[in-house]
Amino acid sequence: MTLEFDGSSPGGLAGAGGDIIKDTSTADFGADVIEASRDCLVLVDFWAAWCGPCKQLTPVLESVVTSYNGKVRLVKLDVDAHPAIAGQLRIQSLPTVYAFRNGQPLDGFMGAQPESGIREFIARMLGPDEAAAVEEPLAAANAALDAGDLQSAAQDFASILQAAGQHPEALAGLAKCYLESGDTERAKQTIELVPPDKRGAASVASVLANLELAESAPASGELSALEGRVTANPADLDARLELSIAAAAAGDKQRAVDELIEIFRRDRNWNDEAARKQLVKFFEAWGPKDPLTLEGRRRLSSLMFA
């Protein structure tokens, strides 16, 4: 299945150019910042050509702001060429960034910042109401995904990303759409857009675990060969572990769980608890509500506490 929808390419999730990023002057500051901030959040980057940290910060700011597709704008002011505004705002060090909303400065920061810090700052400036506005469309997108309507789900996740930037849950959802359609390469590209500090989210971890499984898909005849090894020697735990991973990659979750449970039953400490650890990876990939996750957890617990 090939997913077709506007903005489906990960590289196309971020808008670019136009009025999202612009330079301003003393004369234009009122229109570019004060008036513009009545429609969206405006960040003002106070910089100078001689400022080394400014050269580090500005490209990161531009990248982050662009990812919000117009929900956040960046206005850059060269304080050497236009010192009046910086004087009014008492800018004392560079770079300095101020956030404006509804014609007023809200807060700011000084010095070069990592991408994660800038995103946290923007999230704080946008406030909980705007974050909550994502929850309803995100729930609808996940419902479509759970129902197997990949096309609708992908379009919904893409719409969220257009409005909210690199939202980790929406990126994970879109990556899942690609995974379930068999397009692992685009799934990888999409999940790589998740900021590093957000990759611990359960939905993101699930995609990463599923990608790992997809890359373990057995070659033609490999599954049969592993089954033959286990049949010939039921105590071959290496073969059982390989068979479990291959079965999961091929979509046979029941077989994957059964083999690992059998390994654990025979020797729970084998290979540094390899069976239990692999089960945990499967549970992470399949999600907490999957029937095989629930069954696997129950069977594992019964053996652990028997």
The three-class DSSP label of residue 104 is strand
Q: Which residue has the higher pLDDT, 261 or 137?
A: 261
Question: Where does the pLDDT of residue 12 fall: very low under 50, low under 70, confident under 90, or very high at 90 and above?
Answer: very low
String of b and e for 209-228 (b: at least 16 CB within 10 Å)? Answer: bbbebbeeebeeeebeebbe
CA angle 169, 36, 13 (to 5 degrees): 30
How confident is the model over 148-165, as a mean pLDDT?
86
The mean-pLDDT minimum among 122-126, 230-234, 242-246 falls in 122-126
Question: Where does the pLDDT of residue 177 fall: very low under 50, low under 70, confident under 90, or very high at 90 and above?
Answer: very high
What's the CA dihedral at 203, 209, 211, 212 to 10 degrees? Answer: 170
Orientation of helix 168-180 relative to helix 135-146, angle to 10°: 20
| N residues, the chain | 306
Selecting among 54, 91, 150, 211, the annotated active-site residue is 54
Q: Tokens at residue 265, please?
A: 């039953």
Selecting among 3, 13, 51, 213, the annotated active-site residue is 51
122-126, 200-204, 253-257: which is most confident: 253-257
pLDDT attached to residue 205: 87
**177 noted as active-site residue:** no
- CA atoms within a 13 Å half-sphere pointing along the CA-CB vector of 212: 13
Question: Where does the pLDDT of residue 160 fall: very low under 50, low under 70, confident under 90, or very high at 90 and above?
Answer: confident
How confident is the model over 50-63, as a mean pLDDT?
93
Q: Tokens at residue 304, please?
A: 């652990």
Domains delineated in the chain: 10-125 (3.40.30.10), 135-214 (1.25.40.10), 222-304 (1.25.40.10)
pLDDT attached to residue 249: 86
Q: Which residue has the higher pLDDT, 17 or 166?
A: 166
- Compute the mean pLDDT over every residue in the chain, rounded to the nearest whole number: 87
Q: Which residue has the higher pLDDT, 2 or 211?
A: 211
Distance from chain centroid for Cα 30 = 36
Instruction: Give yes or no for a contact between 142 and 287, defined as CB atoms under 8 angstroms apart.
Output: no
Question: Where does the pLDDT of residue 168 fall: very low under 50, low under 70, confident under 90, or very high at 90 and above?
Answer: confident
